[in-house]
């Protein structure tokens, strides 16, 4: 069983970080909640990712990310909307020691109106920055519905591919099945 100890502060490295995130990306902050939720809704309506969205759970995680409470999210702010975001949560393997933490991406997404620039690369530069600040591995995954090869090439410029993910079953979580009924 994986148990997080009360003394573990997954964002401790952030509080002592000597550097700022890459230019063009900032940390999520209070006031971003509704715009981040809108971006998440856009992603799931577009068919990116899998499963359903539980609005209560999603809003809770976004609120915590904006408070930098457990979750760390980087955002690209634009004049009309948040143009892109990448979010991380701390994790550790079931077989590792107490200090064997890593960061797992929750979502990486660029709004469809803002994909012709460098936003995807900026978000991955944020992931590079966080890996150097926290001195822990950062795992970023891909589950797109389209253009997989292009996205693998983009992600490959920032890190090495270490595996693959395969979805077994219909891919619908209980929440999505209840919503469809």
Give 82-130 pLDDT, tens digit per residue.
999 999 999 988 888 888 889 999 988 889 899 888 898 899 999 999 9
The SS3 assignment for 107 reads strand
Tell me whether residue 140 is in a domain. Answer: yes
pLDDT-derived band at 7 (thresholds 50, 70, 90) equals very low
| Dist. CA 156–CA 24, nearest whole Å | 21
Rounded to an integer, the average pLDDT of 126-137 is: 91
Tell me whether residue 32 is in a domain. Answer: yes
Asked if residue 2 has pLDDT above 60, the reply is no
> Of 67, 136, 141, nearest to 108 (Cα)?
141
Give 9-66 pLDDT, tens digit per residue.
667 766 666 568 889 999 999 999 999 999 998 888 776 666 667 889 999 999 999 9
Tell me whether residue 2 is in a domain. Answer: no
| Number of structural domains the chain divides into | 1
Asked if residue 166 has pLDDT above 70, the reply is no
Tell me whether residue 123 is in a domain. Answer: yes
Q: Structural domain of residue 21, as residue ranges?
A: 13-180
Question: Which segment of 90-99, 129-138, 157-166 scores lowest on mean pLDDT?
Answer: 157-166
Tell me whether residue 22 is in a domain. Answer: yes
Tell me whether residue 21 is in a domain. Answer: yes
Tell me whether residue 5 is in a domain. Answer: no
Asked if residue 148 has pLDDT above 90, the reply is no
Tell me, what CATH number does 155's domain have?
3.40.630.30
Tell me what pLDDT residue 174 has: 65
Radius of gyration (C-alpha) of the chain in whole angstroms: 16
Tell me whether residue 4 is in a domain. Answer: no
What is the spatial order of strands in the sheet that 101-110 belongs to? Answer: 26-27, 72-77, 82-92, 101-110, 138-139
What does the DSSP 8-state code read for residue 31?
A: T
């Amino acid at each position: 069983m994986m148990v997080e100890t009360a003394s573990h502060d997954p964002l401790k490295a952030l509080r002592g970080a000597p550097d700022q995130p890459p230019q063009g990306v900032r940390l999520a902050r209070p006031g971003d909640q509704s715009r981040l939720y809108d971006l998440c809704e856009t992603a799931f309506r577009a068919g990116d990712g899998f499963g359903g969205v539980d609005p209560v759970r999603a809003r809770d995680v976004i609120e915590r990310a904006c408070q930098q409470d457990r979750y760390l999210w980087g955002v690209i702010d634009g004049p009309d909307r948040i143009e892109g975001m990448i979010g991380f949560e701390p994790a550790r393997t079931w077989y590792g020691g107490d200090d064997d933490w890593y960061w797992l991406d929750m979502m990486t997404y660029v709004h469809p109106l803002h994909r012709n620039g460098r936003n995807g690369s900026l978000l991955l530069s944020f992931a590079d920055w966080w890996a150097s600040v926290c001195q822990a591995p950062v795992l970023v995954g891909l589950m797109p519905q389209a253009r997989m090869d292009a996205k693998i090439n983009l992600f490959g410029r920032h890190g090495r591919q270490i595996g693959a993910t395969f979805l077994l079953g219909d891919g619908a979580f209980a929440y999505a099945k209840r919503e469809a009924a």
